[in-house]
Amino acid sequence: MNVLEAIKGRHSARAFLNLSVDKKSITTILEVARFAPSGVNTQPWEVVVVQGNYIQQIGDAIIAAREAGTPENPDYHYYPTEWIEPYKSRRKACGLALYSSINITLQDKEKRKEAWYRNYYFFGAPIGLLFFLETKLEKGSWIDMGMFIQNVMLAARGIGLETCPQASLAEYPDIVRGIVGVSKEKALLCGMALGYEDQNHPINQYRTEREPVEKFTTFLG
């Protein structure tokens, strides 16, 4: 798989095979990802790898908070408070495609909630990654983190694994930090499911559309 194929073929896998991923594979991915660029070589990324009981604890705790009506307290706002076009339509299309792939209608709120709650268990993947950043760092480091996280996803594909980046796991950062023993001085950016994709599962069949280059690019000169 060349780089172009790896980028174009990447997608968010939401169902995984019951196959373990060894520490050597995870280390290989992170060894490659660390070559992401960062301003003045700050290398701001911090990663916590969770599996087994830690994944169970995180999922149970977040769902308990949601069921109790505890407000989310993310370290940052991922989405806008008010959706405008074209982002509003893209968001709607994404959600419809996702739930349609597993035959869940808009009216079936219980099944939608059940499907959503799988987020908090890393969609059943054997490995979960949590990405942290010092709160004292500025927006430039957040850009660096994005490039590092993309490297993780591409490196995973290079050794036959797939991923799903998950902003949902950052909805209750204090809960997650408490479970994994990370200081409040570290912002939780997102989580990521990592494992061997279940290629036959319906939820892994759908794909989101991408706009053509001419829609978002201006050539000058």
186 pairs with which residues across the strands? 134
For residue range 90-117, list pLDDT tens digits in order: 999 999 999 999 999 989 999 999 999 9
Look over the chain and give the mean of its residue pLDDT values, rounded to a whole number: 97
pLDDT digits (tens, 9 = 90+) for 194-205: 999 999 999 999
Query: pTM for the whole thing?
Result: 0.96
Helix boundaries (H) for the chain: 3-9, 23-33, 53-67, 87-101, 109-117, 139-158, 173-180, 213-216
pLDDT at 106: 85
pLDDT of residue 1: 82
Arithmetic mean of pLDDT, 143-152:
98
% of the chain beyond a pLDDT of 90? 99
Q: DSSP state, 68?
A: T
